[in-house]
Amino acid sequence: MVARAALVYLAALVMVRWGEKRFMGKNTAFDVILGVILGSVVSRAINSTADIAPTLAAGFMLVGLHWGFASLAFRSDHFGTLVKSHTRVLVQDGHINWDEMRRAHMSRDDLLGALRAEGVENPSRVKEARLERSGEVSVVTRTPEPRILEAVIEDGVLKVVLKLR
């Protein structure tokens, strides 16, 4: 059992390196699924519920299939959307898009929490907030319009004081 565990560990390490660590970080459900299935498959090789060679071959096949799908998704936006979904615009120019919020099953509190995590207190300060493929919310804040506080002419020179924030 110890030898099998060591062999499976080394083979899984090779699989993860071959998979270029894509499924180990914050990524799409497409990536997470591989991590879950790969863990389930290689565990069978450790606990002897399956022959070691075919089990490791299945693990390598899964990583190869994942790599192939990722490559196709890179080359084809349509295929990428099919396997990874698409982004949703949750806030546009300070206005919450409730239709997209419903489709994403996000509450107002979920959105406000995601905005606070990005340092934004109020949706009105958001130019655009998107629910990304990874499940993270990305936020682009609005650039405030400059306001003229004072404009005076002194000695033929126009002096303007602006408020930028």
Q: Which residue has the higher pLDDT, 1 or 94?
A: 94
pLDDT (0 to 100) of residue 72: 92
* Mean pLDDT, the chain, integer: 85
Per residue in 37-95, pLDDT (tens digit) is 888 888 888 888 889 889 989 989 988 888 888 899 899 999 888 877 789 999 999 99
3-state SS record for 56-98: HHHHHHHHHHHHHHHHHHHHCHHHHHHHHCCCEEEEECCEECH
Position 17 scores a pLDDT of: 66
The band of 23, judged by pLDDT with boundaries at 50, 70 and 90, is low
The answer for 155, left when phi > 0, alpha when psi is -120 to 50, beta otherwise, is left
d(CA 113, CA 6): 43
Residue 24 has pLDDT above 70, yes or no: no
Contact 30, 83 (CB under 8 A): yes
Looking at residue 96, its pLDDT comes to 97
Query: At 124, phi and psi to the nearest 5?
Result: -65, -20
Q: How far apart are CA 137 and CA 89, in angstroms?
A: 10
> In the prediction, which pLDDT does 145 show?
73
Q: Which residue has the higher pLDDT, 53 or 145?
A: 53
Q: What does the pLDDT average to over 98-117?
A: 94
pLDDT band at 108 (very low <50, low <70, confident <90, very high): very high
